[in-house]
Structure 1
Amino acid sequence: MKNDVDRISDLPDVILLIIISFLPMKFAVRTSILSRRWRYIWAQTPYLDFDEHIFIDDRSRRLVTINPREWMLYKKYEASIRFVDFVHRSLLHYRGDRISTFRLRFCYNGEHYNHINQWLHFTIRRHVQELDLDFSGGGYALDIRTGYRAFELPNYLFACETLNVLRLSYCKFNPLFFKIFASLKALSLIPVELSSELVSRLLNSCGVLEMLKLDNCHGLSNLNIWAPNLPLKSLTIYDCRLFPVPAIHIRASMLLSFDYFGPMVRFDVEKMPNLVEARLDFGLESRFDSNGGEINQLLGSLENAMVLTVCSYVIQLVRNGYNQRKNAEKSKKVLPIEELLFKCLPTLLYNLKNLTFKIGLDNSELPGIAWLLRSSPNLESLSIETGLERRVEGYTDVTILDEYSFGKRDNWESQGPPFNSLLYHLKLVKICGFTGWENEMRVVRYLLANSIVLEKMIIKAPAMTLFGASGRNSKKNFKLIRQVLALEKASRIAEIMFY
């Protein structure tokens, strides 16, 4: 057998096109020099990926007389000229009838609008199905105030009937009609200037929309996700600043996944009967505005979720709902067994199987941890991701911290059957960021001693903490591992694994 046989070139065009589809266009075009067989393969690929960033030459030496930012802007300008010419020539030589995906990463600074307009018109004529436009360019545009200039999308783009996936970054638009969205299934807007009215118009024109992501969008007074008749399955709201009325209204009965990251706002959420997964992260929110009742109500709206992730803010304020409910019943006589009803969410999370805490394991979080565990009677998997402590100012109630301390083995068990029944379902515990400090050890000790059907506990330490150390630290770490392995376990089959 000859060693110089080119088996890849003997593959059919369909396979070669699949190989090229994984390459940015700059490298896809270069395959044309491999052989005559490869010369025009790239010109038929339905996946066009143009990225300006890979045209920037980082190897050239900076002149001493030029400061670093001016040098970067110069290289960026030079790269943009070469990039625009490359895209233009590539599309002139393109031979495909249809474009499945067109991806463009370009730092728009107000120039080359006509070129971009021509490229978009080219993709529309080729019946593009997925359009991904990002005009941020890494923040090196000539607009010093913002680092970019939003590209205004042409109106004809909204007449494309074949488009079913649209991702827009650093764009602006306000068309008179949205014919494009008659077939759109996935829409991502990342930093895009919107208005509440524009969002409503979008949703009213999206008859088959299944995924909506709003990331760092601005200009909204409030956010109304009114989609009772849409097949909307995934909703992500990430750090969208609402002013002057910070409120989010959601009506989406088909929703399967809800992900929120941002400041605390007023939520008006109808129950989601099909919800599978939810994530609530209020970022670096540290204000206490008696939001416990609203958080309880929000969690109640997510009662059908099987997977739930919550941040420290939720955990610290969830108990405040107990104070509000108990004060409302102050005039009534409360029996001891009825007292338990005030120590969990008004709506128990019976469907919840997987719960994740993103916390610092501060003492102020322990009551909220107990609250949510008691409210999740059928929990099977618990994940604790430790990180920076975030104590909510003006709320920490030091009088109750000892009541919920992990250090007292029987305290939580004495709180009542709803919390105790949880321990008969818990099979998996994951702890990430384990360093062995006091509260972490108490958590591990408590869960091992009380989780009767536990099958596995996975403990993952930060890099260089448990296994990367040497010398004296290494001996200390292995001593810590031995201490964990020696802890009493209620489950005979429980395994403890370290990573």
Structure 2
Amino acid sequence: MIEDNLQITQKRKPTTENLVMVEKNDDLISRLSDDILLYIISLLPVECAVRTSFLSRRWSDLWNESPELKGTTEDIPILVQELVELYNRHPLLPCRREVRFRFEKSNLLVATIEDNQKLHLKFSDGSSTLRNPLFLRRPSSSTHDLAVKTLHLTSVSDLTPEKVTSLVSYFRNLQSLQITECNFKSLSIGAGFQILTSLTILDCLELTEIHSFSLNLKRLFFRGNFVKFWFYTLKTSLEIAMIDFRKGPGCLGITYCCLMKNLLALRNVEILTVCGWLFNMPKIKMLPLCEHYNTSVEISLCSKI
């Protein structure tokens, strides 16, 4: 009788192969097609949708196809926070960590995080001009600070400046900021970004003013229409400035006084490169630039780069 009981027990003991087979048979959802799984992800709340990438290898592979989620502008900070925190918890996760997010009507945000702590936020919509200024405020002391050192903003629309401003306040460790093709009228960098050292602005053709309260900004790269620079510090920390006005004067009337204010705002840099159409103008060529700079400054004037 004891032997019979032992035999029965042995028959009921599951093997590893049986467990795997049972798991596969029970996981009916993962066996669905990619299209159906991506559709399921799109129906989930944003914070839950992002977390599906580490349910299993099958789910993480879906994120190689850049899943598309839907929501509102209120969900944008949540989406980015979840994406960054997911990367921090699982840095070796085998996926691209890229999300396509549709909000409001036809607006699209593509959020991508790279291995070197770079975050790309690319906005796309049908609007042409953002009349409101973009003011990046002092970073908050939130417990949800995001470990992002480099941030790229592309095509911020008129529906998102407040959300972008709120989102950037989480990046207390931000060292480099690049803004591309964002059609706002003015840009202000708050003093709270204490370790921000590099600012790049490319092809923001509606931009007319740049205000900086940053104490440690060392590199400024600008390409676009003529703009006015304002630095609200006793002595700017800029070391390298490259100013490219090749896009033209824009909507600003260029005067000798206006140009001199810009150049004086940059007078403490070590290397200054100014290029574009300005120095094809006879009056501009005669500007006494060297009189306003330290003898150690390197000034480069060119019509092309």
TM-score, reference length from structure 1: 0.36
* Counterpart in the other structure of 1:207: 172
Q: Distance in 1 between matches of 2:170 and 2:118?
A: 14
Q: Is the 8 A contact 2:272 2:297 kept in 1?
A: yes
Superposed displacement of residue 259, structure 1: 0.8
Q: Distance in 2 between matches of 1:307 and 1:240?
A: 23
Q: Which string of whole-angstrom CA distances, capped at 9 and with x for unpartnered residues, describes residues 313-341 of structure 1?
A: 3424694497xxxxxxxxxxxxxxxxxxx
Aligned length: 225
Matched, 1:359 2:300: no
* Counterpart in the other structure of 1:170: 123
Find 1:344's aligned residue among 286, 289, 293.
289
Q: Is the 8 A contact 1:132 1:168 kept in 2?
A: no
Name which structure has the greater RCO, CA cutoff 8 Å, separation 6+.
2
Structure 1 counterpart SS, 2:196: coil
Q: Is the 8 A contact 1:232 1:254 kept in 2?
A: yes
* Counterpart in the other structure of 1:263: 225
Structure 2 counterpart SS, 1:170: strand
Q: Is the 8 A contact 2:226 2:249 kept in 1?
A: no
* Residues 170/303 of structure 1: CA separation in 2 closer, same or farther (3 Å cut): same
Superposed displacement of residue 304, structure 1: 3.1
The structure having more radius of gyration, on CA atoms, is 1
* Counterpart in the other structure of 1:254: 216
* Residues 279/265 of structure 1: CA separation in 2 closer, same or farther (3 Å cut): same
Superposed displacement of residue 185, structure 1: 2.4
Superposed displacement of residue 258, structure 1: 0.5
* Residues 181/123 of structure 1: CA separation in 2 closer, same or farther (3 Å cut): closer
* Counterpart in the other structure of 2:43: none
* Counterpart in the other structure of 2:109: 151
Structure 2 counterpart SS, 1:235: strand
* Counterpart in the other structure of 1:279: 242
* Residues 132/227 of structure 1: CA separation in 2 closer, same or farther (3 Å cut): farther
Q: Distance in 1 between matches of 2:212 and 2:152?
A: 18
Structure having the larger proportion of residues in strand:
2
Paired letter, 2:231: V
Matched, 1:225 2:186: no
Matched, 1:189 2:153: yes
Q: Distance in 1 between matches of 2:182 and 2:224?
A: 11
Superposed displacement of residue 263, structure 1: 1.4
Q: Distance in 1 between matches of 2:192 and 2:283?
A: 32
* Counterpart in the other structure of 1:291: 255
Q: Is the 8 A contact 1:223 1:242 kept in 2?
A: no
Q: Distance in 1 between matches of 2:177 and 2:297?
A: 24
Q: Is the 8 A contact 1:104 1:134 kept in 2?
A: no
* Residues 227/84 of structure 1: CA separation in 2 closer, same or farther (3 Å cut): same
Q: Which string of whole-angstrom CA distances, capped at 9 and with x for unpartnered residues, describes residues 158-177 of structure 1?
A: xxxxx9542212279xxxx9
Paired letter, 1:291: T
Structure 2: runs of 5+ lacking an equivalent: 1-33, 40-49, 72-77, 126-139
Deviation above 6 Å: which 4+ runs of structure 1? Answer: 87-91, 117-120, 129-132
Instruction: Provide the alpha-carbon RMSD of the alignment.
Output: 4.9
Structure 1: runs of 5+ lacking an equivalent: 1-79, 97-102, 142-147, 154-162, 323-341, 361-384, 386-499
Structure 1 counterpart SS, 2:230: strand
Q: Distance in 1 between matches of 2:228 and 2:79?
A: 44
Return 287-296 or 206-215, whichever deviates more: 287-296
Q: Is the 8 A contact 1:295 1:314 kept in 2?
A: no
Superposed displacement of residue 269, structure 1: 2.4
